[in-house]
Amino acid sequence: MERTKAVVCGATGMVGQVYVAMLSDHPWFELVGVAASERSAGRRYGDAARWYIPGEIPDVARSMTVLPCTADAVTATGATLVFSALPSDVAGPMEHSLADAGMAVVADTASHRMDADVPLIVPEVNADHLAALSVQRAGGRKGFIVTGPNCSTAALILSLKPLQAAFGIRRVIVVTMQALSGAGYAGVPSMAIVDNLIPFIRNEEEKIARETQKMLGSWSDGSFQPADIPVSASCNRVAVLEGHTESVLVELDRFASPEEVEQVLRDFQGEPQRLHLPTAPEHPVIVRAEPDRPQPRLDRLAGEPARARGMTAVAGRIRRDPAFVTGIKYTVLSHNTIRGAAGNAILTAELLAAKGLL
| Residues that bind its own copies in the complex, under the rule CB under 8 A | 14, 52, 54-55, 171-173, 175, 177, 180-181, 185-200, 202, 209, 230-232, 234, 236, 238-241, 245, 247, 249, 291-301, 316-317, 321-324, 327, 329, 331
Minimum Å gap between C-beta 142 and its own copies is 38
Alpha-carbon span 174 to 328, nearest angstrom: 12
Q: Which is nearer to its own copies, 97 or 234 (CB)?
A: 234
Phi, psi angles (nearest 5°) of residue 135: -70, -45
Spatial separation of the C-alpha atoms in residues 268 and 284, rounded to whole Å? 7
Q: Residue 247 and residue 330: Cα distance in Å, rounded?
A: 6
**Nearest-approach distance from CB 342 to its own copies, in angstroms:** 16
Residue 146: CB minimum distance to its own copies, A: 27
Q: Which is nearer to its own copies, 52 or 72 (CB)?
A: 52
Quote the CA–CA distance of 92 and 89 in Å, as a whole number: 7
- Pairing type for strands 327-334 and 313-320 reads antiparallel
| 3-state class (DSSP) for residue 337 | coil
Instruction: Exactly one of 9, 96, 129, 151 is catalytic; name it.
Output: 151
Identify which of residues 77 and 245 has a Cβ nearer to its own copies in the complex. Answer: 245
Q: Answer whether 272's CB lies under 8 Å from 123's CB.
A: yes
Judged by beta carbon, residue 35 or residue 201, the one nearer its own copies is 201
Under DSSP, the state recorded for 120 is B
Q: Are 342 and 26 in contact (CB under 8 A)?
A: no
Q: Indicate the SS3 state at residue 89.
A: helix
- Told to judge if 244 belongs to the known catalytic residues of this protein, a careful annotator would answer yes
Going by their DSSP bridges, the two strands 223-225 and 231-237 should be labelled as unpaired
**Strand partners of residue 281:** none
Query: With b meaning 16 or more CB within 10 Å and e meaning fewer, what string describes 58-71?
Result: bebbbebebbebbb
Q: Which is closer to its own copies, CB of 101 or CB of 193?
A: 193
Is the Cβ of residue 138 or residue 241 nearer to its own copies in the bound state?
241
Maximum distance among all Cα pairs of the chain, rounded to whole angstroms:
61
Q: Does 96 participate in catalysis according to the annotation?
A: no
**Distance in angstroms (rounded) separating the CA atoms of residues 179 and 245:** 8
What is the nearest approach in angstroms of its own copies to the Cβ of residue 193? 5
**Least Å from the CB of residue 305 to its own copies:** 13
Closer to its own copies by CB, 96 or 300: give it.
300
In the bound complex, what is the minimum distance in angstroms from residue 220's beta carbon to its own copies?
A: 24
Buried b (16+ CB within 10 A) or exposed e, 12-28: bbbbbbbbbbbbeebeb
Q: Which of 26, 112, 129, 244 is catalytic?
A: 244
Residue 330 Cβ, how far from its own copies at the closest point, in Å? 9
The whole-angstrom separation of Cα 66 and Cα 74 is: 11
Residues annotated as catalytic (active site), given as ranges: 151, 244
